[in-house]
C-alpha cells in the first residue's frame, strides 16, 4: 500500500486530494495546523494537527514512514504577498525547505509540489507551455519559483524526485458534494460570484473592463479540482514507477473571461448576479491560459470536467449546500 503524507490536507485542494488518495487505496496521513484549513474537511486517513515549521512535528510525523509527500500548505494570496513578503518567504520557502530536509532525514525521496502559473509572470505568449520564461512579478510567484529551483538542485545532489504542478485557476468542488472551497477571506472569482448569486454577498466587483480581451475582462483557465487531483495521482504513479523529476503546466487550455464566468453562473444558478465595475487589480495579467500538452502526453492526463458549466455547477452545489 502506498503511504502518502499530505501536508495541508485540510485545505481546499488538499482535502480533495486526501479523499481521492483514500478512494484509490493509499494510506493517507494529513498534517495541517488548521490555520486556514478545516478539520471536518479531512474525510479519511490519519490526521495530525501541527505546524510544519516545527522540526519536531515533522520528525514525529515522518517517522511513520512514507513513500511520498504532497505539499499544499502554502500561502496563496498575491496581494498579501506584496504587503507581507516576509510571511510568504518564511512559509512558502523556508518552511518548505525544512520539510524537504526532514524528508531527506527520513529517507523519503518523492515529492509533489503545488506550483503556480504565477511563476511565469506577465505572459509573453499564450497558451503558456513549460518553455515559457519564468519571470514572476510578485513575491508569491517568486516563492514558488524558488522552491522549483531548489527541487532541481535537491534532485541533482540528493536524488529527491519531484513533480511540480503549475496550477492555473483551481475551481469547482467535489462532484459528490462532500467538499468545496472555504477560504477565509475568499478572494477567488467563482465562489465570490456564486455568493453574489446566493445573496451572501451584495455583489461581485469586476476588476477592470478595459483589458485587451474580446469583452474587456480578464481571461483565466479554470481547472476542476477533481482534474487537478487526478494530475497529482498520475504524478504519484509516475514517481512510484521510477520516473525522474518533472514540471507540468496544469489547465484545460481554454480561457474564460470574468464576464463569461458571471454569465455562466447566472445560467447555472438561474439567478441574477449583481455586478459592480471596479478598477483593475494590481498585477493581474489580461490572459493566463495553460498549454498542458506535456502532462497529457507524458502522464496521460485527461480532464473529466473541462467545461465551465460543470465546474460552476459543482461549485454551486457546494455553495448552496444545506439551503
Binding of ligand UFG by 118 (CB under 6 A) = yes
- Which of residues 92, 116, 238, 252 is near ligand UFG by CB under 6 A? 116
Site residues for ligand UFG, window 202-221 (CB under 6 A)?
204-207, 218, 220
Q: Give CA–CA dist 183/236, Å, rounded.
A: 26
C-alpha cell at 8: 495541508
Which is nearer to ligand UFG, 101 or 284 (by Cβ)?
284
Which is nearer to ligand UFG, 28 or 219 (by Cβ)?
219
- Quick check: helix, strand or coil at residue 155? helix
CB of 288 to ligand UFG, least distance (A): 6
Question: Which of these segments, 67-75, 87-95, 100-108, 201-209, binds ligand UFG (CB under 6 A)?
Answer: 201-209
Which is nearer to ligand UFG, 75 or 296 (by Cβ)?
75
- Which of residues 31, 70, 112, 117 is near ligand UFG by CB under 6 A? 117
- Which of residues 58, 62, 78, 234 is near ligand UFG by CB under 6 A? 78
Which residues are catalytically annotated?
140
Site residues for ligand UFG, window 120-149 (CB under 6 A)?
140
Site residues for ligand UFG, window 279-318 (CB under 6 A)?
281, 284, 288
Residue with cell 496550477: 167
Helices (H), ranges, 35-134: 55-62, 78-83, 85-88, 96-105
Residue with cell 514517481: 239
Spell out the residues 6+ positions from residue 48 whose beta carbon is closer than 8 angstroms to its own: 29, 30, 31, 32, 57, 60, 61
Site residues for ligand UFG, window 7-66 (CB under 6 A)?
none
Site residues for ligand UFG, window 224-253 (CB under 6 A)?
none
Binding of ligand UFG by 169 (CB under 6 A) = yes
Q: What is the DSSP letter of 279?
A: P
Nearest to 8 by CA among 77, 16, 186: 16
Which is nearer to ligand UFG, 78 or 312 (by Cβ)?
78
- Which of residues 5, 61, 189, 236 is near ligand UFG by CB under 6 A? 189
CB of 181 to ligand UFG, least distance (A): 10
Q: Give CA–CA dist 180/285, Å, rounded.
A: 26
Question: Which DSSP string do the residues of 192-220 spell out, in sequence order?
Answer: HHHHHHHTSSS-EEEE-S-SSSTTSS-EE
> What does each C-alpha distance from 238 to 77, 130, 194, 245 come to in angstroms?
30, 18, 37, 9
CB of 208 to ligand UFG, least distance (A): 7
Which is nearer to ligand UFG, 4 or 197 (by Cβ)?
197
Spell out the residues 6+ positions from residue 186 whose beta carbon is closer than 8 angstroms to its own: 192, 195
Site residues for ligand UFG, window 58-77 (CB under 6 A)?
76
CB of 187 to ligand UFG, least distance (A): 5
Helices (H), ranges, the chain: 12-23, 55-62, 78-83, 85-88, 96-105, 139-158, 189-198, 225-240, 258-269, 293-299, 308-319
Residues that bind ligand UFG (CB under 6 A): 76, 78, 116-118, 140, 169, 187-189, 192, 204-207, 218, 220, 258, 281, 284, 288
Amino acid at each position: 500500500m502506498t503511504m502518502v503524507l499530505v501536508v495541508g490536507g485540510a485545505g481546499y485542494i488538499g482535502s480533495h486530494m486526501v479523499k481521492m488518495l483514500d478512494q484509490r487505496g493509499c494510506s493517507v496521513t494529513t498534517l495541517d495546523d488548521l490555520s486556514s484549513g478545516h478539520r471536518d474537511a479531512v474525510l479519511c486517513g490519519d490526521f495530525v494537527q501541527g505546524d510544519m515549521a516545527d522540526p519536531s512535528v515533522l520528525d514525529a510525523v515522518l517517522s511513520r514512514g512514507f513513500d511520498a509527500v504532497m505539499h499544499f500548505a502554502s500561502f496563496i494570496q498575491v496581494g498579501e504577498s506584496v504587503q507581507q513578503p516576509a510571511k510568504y518567504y518564511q512559509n512558502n520557502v523556508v518552511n518548505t525547505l525544512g520539510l524537504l530536509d526532514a524528508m531527506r532525514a527520513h529517507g523519503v525521496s518523492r515529492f509533489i509540489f503545488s506550483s503556480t502559473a504565477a511563476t511565469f509572470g506577465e505572459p509573453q505568449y499564450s497558451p503558456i507551455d513549460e518553455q515559457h520564461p519564468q519571470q514572476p512579478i510578485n513575491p508569491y510567484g517568486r516563492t514558488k519559483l524558488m522552491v522549483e529551483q531548489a527541487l532541481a538542485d535537491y534532485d541533482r545532489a540528493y536524488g529527491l524526485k519531484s513533480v511540480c504542478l503549475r496550477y492555473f485557476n483551481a475551481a469547482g468542488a467535489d462532484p459528490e458534494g462532500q467538499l468545496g472551497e472555504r477560504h477565509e477571506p475568499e478572494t477567488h472569482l467563482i465562489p465570490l460570484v456564486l455568493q453574489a448569486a446566493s445573496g451572501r454577498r451584495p455583489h461581485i466587483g469586476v476588476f477592470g473592463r478595459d483589458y485587451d480581451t474580446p469583452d474587456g475582462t480578464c481571461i483565466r483557465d479554470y481547472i476542476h479540482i477533481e482534474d487537478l487531483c487526478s494530475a497529482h495521482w498520475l504524478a504519484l504513479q509516475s514517481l512510484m514507477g521510477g520516473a525522474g523529476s518533472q514540471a507540468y503546466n496544469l489547465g484545460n487550455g481554454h480561457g474564460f473571461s470574468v464576464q463569461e464566468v458571471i454569465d455562466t453562473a447566472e445560467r447555472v444558478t438561474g439567478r441574477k448576479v449583481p455586478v459592480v465595475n471596479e478598477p483593475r487589480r494590481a498585477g493581474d495579467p489580461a490572459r493566463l491560459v495553460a498549454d498542458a500538452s506535456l502532462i497529457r502526453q507524458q502522464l496521460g492526463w485527461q480532464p473529466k470536467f473541462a467545461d465551465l458549466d460543470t465546474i460552476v455547477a459543482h461549485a454551486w452545489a457546494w455553495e448552496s449546500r444545506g439551503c
